[in-house]
A and B are shown apart, each in its own frame.
Chain A
Amino acid sequence: MPAPVVFTEALYKQYETGAGALPVLRGVDLTIQPGEFVAVMGPSGSGKSTFMNILGCLDTPTSGRYVLDGNDTARLAPDQLARLRNRFIGFVFQGFNLLPRANLLDNVALPLVYAGVRKSQREARAQEMLARVGLARYATHLPSQISGGQQQRVAIARALINRPSLLLADEPTGNLDSRTSHEIMDVFSALNREGRITIVLVTHEADIARVATRLVNFVDGHVEYDGPTADYFAGTLA
């Protein structure tokens, strides 16, 4: 069996507030194998967002271990975490988060800038990624000149350009209408099925979560359910 992409052990996170320590994650153990498509659900305040931020190396746990594709992240400096984000993780956000002043090609190529890839190669790869999400002819457009669904495709292209081990999507359809949402979800499942890309997707819509094969449900800082998506929804319906 290959090494897991994500391995967390007794992951614990608390925030210091004026009223004292507020625990958000209370010991999360989770292992995600390469090629899995995991949906993370849970009510707000359940800790799913915090968990995602830690998976994305944007935040660090108070205690516990997190190993990303063989890299133990516990004692890494900010710049080393930046390197992990650059090489191992692709982000897709709810609000697309494209740079408004840069054209689509530059947006997609941006991770390669920080990876130190040469300009000619950057542009060739970015053009290729744009073609894969069907937006090749918009390369010189600005994000504001295309639709939300198209922007999210650009964001997916940007997330994938550095061939990450893990694609993290945080409510990727939250700002889209239902038809566009399904188009985006089709892109994700195609990437997972055909590209063997490991995807972790946060959503609060059951409809969206159903696309994933595995579902992790957070309640009150714990993993309350972890298993096949189909079983979870079968259970709730019953």
Chain B
Amino acid sequence: MIFSMLREAFRAMAANRLRTFLTMLGMIIGVGAVILMLAIGQGAQTQVQQAIASMGSNLFIVLTGYISAAGVRLGSGQAVSLTISDARAIGELSSVAAVAPAQPGSAQLVYGANNWATQVYGTTPSYLDVRDWRVARGYAFSENDVRSMARVALLGQTVIRQLFGEEDPLNKVIRIKNNPFTVIGVLEAKGQSLDGRDQDDQVIIPLSTAQRKVFGAQFPQSVRFIMVQAKSEEAMAPAEKAMDALLRERHRIQPGMDPDFTIRNLSAVAEVQAASTRVMSIMLGAIASVSLVVGGIGIMNIMLVSVTERTREIGIRMAIGARRRDILLQFLLEAVIVSIIGCLIGVLLGVSIAALVANVSGTFVVVTAASLVLAFAVAAGVGVFFGFYPARKAAALKPIEALRFQ
């Protein structure tokens, strides 16, 4: 029974190929759009999550404040107000797990015939803990190396690619601003940061070495920023308060005066960004679903036309013994087949366009099995939902009236 109905459905669809295709097109576009939009939304979300994970958790960054000289205010980070002892003091707060003072700067790297300009971070070993960053090969430098101003460097993956190509960088000597450094470790790949920088395009060296030998410092103990990791998510708020109080005291800031430092809660910034990408992907999905509904209405429209056109056929079938549910099932089946085939093509289309988008524009897209299952279920649902009314209309025809229909 069901097989002969399936055959009937395909026969009816084949009889009006162009129309069937156009009806399907609604579904194809709808499902394709949903898959594509979900893929882009998911991609953005995944990217942000990766960036957040790569940043490290429960993080603050303490920046130096701005300078105000004769009414001219220079931006944040210009003042020379943070010191290594500030960092040490923050590290002693009960809500703080780890601190890493850092002195960044740009420098030209040279190895053999290759050279490459990159960001060099002078910092302490705890920087890697705070950033939740591991050394893939080799080993990290120690507190001892910091004390002894050792000329050792940890290289990011991008730097290695640019300087060494296929060559093994471990234990090779590179020159940073003409100072020889031994590569003792290779950092694991971290990918993009939240603001889109390539985090693998950097070199990490001991703080003391950076200050004394590479960049120099306005005064020996100053640092540009301090990374601070709170003990837990709950410790974030007390840590921020305690740091603020501590630094105001240490820098002798009077109540009511602007501080000469800035504390940024990086984790909160990340959360906001994660939330906004979530909203974006929901919105993309919602907009795409509208086209799915429009596709469904297209199916309903065509099925209504089809029922009217085939009224006589329905009459014949009823005269020779078709029950109402036989007629209902036949038309419903047709609608569901159109939407499922449309859905299959739509999935293929959506996935290939997503791949194309990823390839051409470099946008990160993720097609999840869940989104495919969702699109499929919705398409079948749309077929049943929008096919039901025309099918019921066909089934409710009186046999004698259907037979007389011209």
**Chain A contacts to B: CB under 8 angstroms:** 53, 56, 58-59, 78-79, 82-83, 85-87, 91, 93, 97-99, 101-102, 106, 110-111, 113-116, 119, 158, 162
Give, as a whole number of angstroms, the nearest-CB distance from A150 to chain B.
Answer: 18
Known interface pairs A101-B15, A102-B11; A86-B320 also in contact (CB < 8 Å): yes
Bound-state CA distance A119–B12 (Å) is: 20
Given contacts A82-B318, A97-B319, A162-B321, 19 further A-B contacts (CB under 8 A): A53-B400, A58-B318, A58-B319, A58-B400, A78-B323, A79-B323, A82-B322, A82-B324, A85-B318, A91-B320, A97-B316, A98-B316, A99-B313, A99-B317, A110-B320, A111-B320, A113-B1, A114-B326, A158-B320
B399 within 8 A of partner (CB): yes
Bound-state CA distance A53–B398 (Å) is: 12
Structural contact, A85 and B321, CB atoms closer than 8 A = yes
In the assembled complex, which residues on chain A have CB atoms less than 8 Å from the CB atom of B322? 82, 114
Bound-state CA distance A83–B320 (Å) is: 9
Structural contact, A110 and B11, CB atoms closer than 8 A = no
Bound-state CA distance A98–B1 (Å) is: 19
Bound-state CA distance A188–B400 (Å) is: 24
Known interface pairs A53-B400, A85-B321; A99-B1 also in contact (CB < 8 Å): no
Structural contact, B319 and A85, CB atoms closer than 8 A = yes
Bound-state CA distance A114–B1 (Å) is: 8
B1-39 CB contacts (< 8 Å) to partner A = 1, 3-4, 8, 11-12, 15
In the assembled complex, which residues on chain B have CB atoms less than 8 Å from the CB atom of A82? 318, 321-324, 399
B149 within 8 A of partner (CB): no
Give, as a whole number of angstroms, the nearest-CB distance from B294 to chain A.
Answer: 29
Structural contact, A113 and B4, CB atoms closer than 8 A = yes
Q: Which of B1, B12, B321 contacts A111 (CB 8 A)?
A: B321
Structural contact, B319 and A110, CB atoms closer than 8 A = no
Interface code B295-331, partner A: CB below 8 Å = 1, 0 otherwise? 0000000000000000011011111111111100000
Q: Which of B3, B316, B319, B323 contacts A119 (CB 8 A)?
A: B3
Known interface pairs A53-B400, A59-B400, A113-B1; A101-B321 also in contact (CB < 8 Å): no
Bound-state CA distance A220–B56 (Å) is: 96
Bound-state CA distance A112–B135 (Å) is: 76
Chain A's closest residue to B319 (CB) is A91
B403 within 8 A of partner (CB): yes
In the assembled complex, which residues on chain A have CB atoms less than 8 Å from the CB atom of B12? 101
* Most chain B Cβ neighbours within 10 Å, of A97, A98, A115: A97
Interface code B32-61, partner A: CB below 8 Å = 1, 0 otherwise? 000000000000000000000000000000
Chain A's closest residue to B396 (CB) is A78
Known interface pairs A58-B400, A101-B11; A115-B313 also in contact (CB < 8 Å): no
